[in-house]
Amino acid sequence: MSIPQERRLVTAVPGPRSLELLARKQRAVPSGIGTTLPVFVTRAGGGVVEDADGNSLIDFGSGIAVTNVGNAAPRVVERVTKQVADFTHTCFMVTPYESYVSVCEKLNALTPGDHDKRTFLVNSGAEAVENAVKVARYATGRQAVVVFDHGYHGRTLLTMALTAKNMPYKQGFGPFAPEVYRAPLAYPYRWPGANPAEEAFAQAVEMIDKQIGAQNVAAVVIEPIAGEGGFIEPAKGFLPKLAEYCRANGIVFVADEVQTGFARTGDLFACEDEGVVPDIICTAKGIAGGLPLAAVTGRAELMDAVHPGGLGGTYGGNPLACEAALAVLETIEQEDLVARARRIGEIMLPRLRAMQERFPVIGEVRGRGAMIAIELVEPGTKTPNPAVLQEVVKRCHAEGLLVLTAGTYGNVLRFLPPLVMPEHLLEEGLSILEKAFS
Ligand SMILES: *Cc1c(COP(=O)(O)O)cnc(C)c1O
């Protein structure tokens, strides 16, 4: 790695140069586009992000689970650099090229299930989820879509409707797309009963029977670990039961693995953890090292049902993004990033659990692989504590540790380090966090 793998603070965070740029941003960009930490980036790689003032920050965010292989990862740089000099766009629907097909072949082979599959490529996670619903509706001739509490699926009209949380994603942007129904999620920490998997599943089935009719449901769309909702791993058994119910009722089971995919959770895809085989899987974020790309992979008979020309888009599967995706898949395999993600979890979880013992504001430590979170509460209760979260985040940022928040109640600190992060930076980041809590 060409960037020194060290935390280095030479000014306050943000420094004067970043603050100048922030003032320009505020004049040029609408305030609806938020900023987690206003340091303006000049370089990034491995486990660090460098800013315009010369500070080097430890990256616990990966640009929201995107740079799993690291920023400007060597194989990505090499393949994209070669491609950009050859051709940058033809539109795959006008004149195709090999790399698009190669990405699809690889996703067909690597995603869960050994059935015959097809993949097509789009630009964003939201676009992938929208297209999964289009395919499911077309193939089943049904309209209803069932989603879950705490779910996040994007910001377009349909995916806003699929998303659970009002602020900031939906407020003022309605009316929303119809035929979307929400079921409870088996959220172990906050489930009132003793058997979250069984009880939440029973409630979902009852909701479907009473309000929709199973024969009218085109798709069930679920994140195998809810991302923006607060890294909620549904109670074990919930996902397999849902998948089985879908199979028995002719419903397309769609796994939104936009955030969980590409080795993030210690499996290549999070569904593998319980052996769940989705009918359609949506991927994006970690797929191409930061180049805009997303994919819809599904059973051949569903995907091939749609008439020619019914799917697509101008940029979907751009050749630079496809080369980047091939480089990402090669990197995951050759550097065994699935094992790296597990190792990151093995380092983080015990240290975070030790912090939980010391700091009663930490209500729960959870997650798999390198998708880890802590939920903050009022000590001795489960009442969400977003105020402490904001204070901890502020202190981490000031010390040069980039962390992200999440959660329906705005009280979850989430950690998504690049899978190539050196262990000394991971440990240093955890020490900064511990100091912030004390
Ligand atoms: C980020 C995300 C999306 C939306 O992806 P975009 O690329 O931002 O459109 C959809 N689903 C999940 C689970 C996500 O984390």
Q: Is 124 in the pocket of ligand 1 (CB under 6 A)?
A: yes
Q: What is the pLDDT of residue 2?
A: 82
Ligand 1 center from residue 407 Cα (angstroms): 15
What is the whole-number distance in angstroms between the Cα of residue 399 and the centre of ligand 1? 29
Could you tell me the two tokens for 421? 């992060």
φ, ψ (nearest 5 deg) of residue 330: -65, -45
Would the CB of 130 count as within 6 Å of ligand 1? no
Closest residue to atom 15 of ligand 1, CA basis: 259
Tell which one of 67, 129, 258 to mutate to probe ligand 1, the residue whose CB is within 8 A of the most ligand atoms.
Answer: 258
Ligand 1 mutation pick, 150, 152, 257, max ligand atoms within 8 A of CB: 152
Q: Cα of 127 to ligand 1 centre, how many Å? A: 9
4 CA → ligand 1 middle, Å: 31
In angstroms, how far is CA 38 from the centroid of its own chain? 22
Sheet holding 294-299, edge to edge: 117-122, 294-299, 280-283, 252-256, 217-222, 144-148, 180-183
Q: Could you tell me the two tokens for 54?
A: 């010369």
Instruction: Outline where 224-303 has alpha helix (H).
Output: 238-249, 300-303
Strand order in the sheet with 404-406: 362-368, 371-376, 412-415, 404-406
Would you say the CB of residue 120 lies under 6 angstroms from ligand 1?
no
The reported pLDDT for the residue numbered 357 is 98
pTM as predicted? 0.98
* Cβ 129 under 6 angstroms from ligand 1: yes
- Residues 269, 281 contacting (CB under 8 angstroms): yes
Helix/strand/coil for 375: strand
The pLDDT value given to residue 1? 58
Instruction: Strands of 341-400 (E only): list them.
Output: 362-368, 371-376
Q: Is the peptide bond before 319 cis (omega within 30 degrees of 0)?
A: no
Distance between CA atoms of 108 and 300, rounded to whole angstroms?
10
pLDDT of residue 285: 98
What the block records as the tokens of 119 is 């993949």
Distance separating alpha carbons of residues 322 and 288, to the nearest angstrom: 7
Residue type, 162: L
Residue 303 phi, psi dihedral angles, 5° rounding? -65, -35
63 CB under 6 A from ligand 1?
A: no
Distance 297 CA to ligand 1 centre (A): 16
DSSP for 63-112, written as a single string: HHHT-TT-TT-HHHHHHHHHHHHH-S---TTTS--HHHHHHHHHHHHHSS
Q: Is 154 in the pocket of ligand 1 (CB under 6 A)?
A: yes
CA angle 43, 44, 49 (to 5 degrees): 100
Would the CB of 369 count as within 6 Å of ligand 1?
no
Pocket perturbation via mutation, ligand 1, pick of 124, 259, 293 by most ligand atoms within 8 A of CB: 259
Q: What is the pLDDT of residue 312?
A: 96
- Which atom, in ligand 1's list, is nearest to the CA of 260? 13
The residue behind tokens 């097809």 is: 118
Query: What is the pLDDT at residue 223?
Result: 99
**What is the residue whose two structure tokens read 């929400």?**
182
Cα separation values, 21 from 25, 54, 172, Å: 6, 14, 29
Q: Per residue, what are the HEC states of 62-74?
A: HHHHCCCCCCCCH
Q: Is residue 198 packed enough to be buried (19+ CB in 10 Å), middle (13-18) or exposed (0-12)?
A: middle
Q: Is the CB of 258 under 6 A from ligand 1?
A: yes
Other C-beta atoms closer than 10 Å to the C-beta of 117 total 21
- Does 284 contact ligand 1 (Cβ within 6 A)? yes
Per-residue pLDDT of the chain (438 residues; tens, 9 = 90+): 589 999 999 999 999 999 999 999 999 999 999 999 999 999 999 999 999 999 999 999 999 999 999 999 999 999 999 999 999 999 999 999 999 999 999 999 999 999 999 999 999 999 999 999 999 999 999 999 999 999 999 999 999 999 999 999 999 999 999 999 999 999 999 999 999 999 999 999 999 999 999 999 999 999 999 999 999 999 999 999 999 999 999 999 999 999 999 999 999 999 999 999 999 999 999 999 999 999 999 999 999 999 999 999 999 999 999 999 999 999 999 999 999 999 999 999 999 999 999 999 999 999 999 999 999 999 999 999 999 999 999 999 999 999 999 999 999 999 999 999 999 999 999 999 999 999
What pLDDT score does 69 carry?
98
For residue 137, give the H/E element and its range. Answer: helix 125-140
d(CA 24, ligand 1 centre) in Å? 28
- What is the distance in A from the centroid of ligand 1 to the CA of 354? 32
- 318, 102 contact by CB (below 8 A): no
- Does the Cβ of 153 fall within 6 Å of ligand 1? yes
Strand 362-368 to 371-376 pairing: antiparallel
Instruction: Tell me, in angstroms, the distance from the centre of ligand 1 to residue 383's CA.
Output: 28
Within 8 A by CB and 6+ apart from 95, the residues are none
Maximum Cα–Cα distance across the chain: 62
Residue (of 242, 256, 250) closest to 159 by Cα position: 256
- Phi, psi (degrees; rounded to nearest 5) at 281: -125, 130
CB distance 260 to 223 below 8 Å? yes
Domains belonging to the chain, first-starting first, are 16-72+336-437 (3.90.1150.10), 75-334 (3.40.640.10)
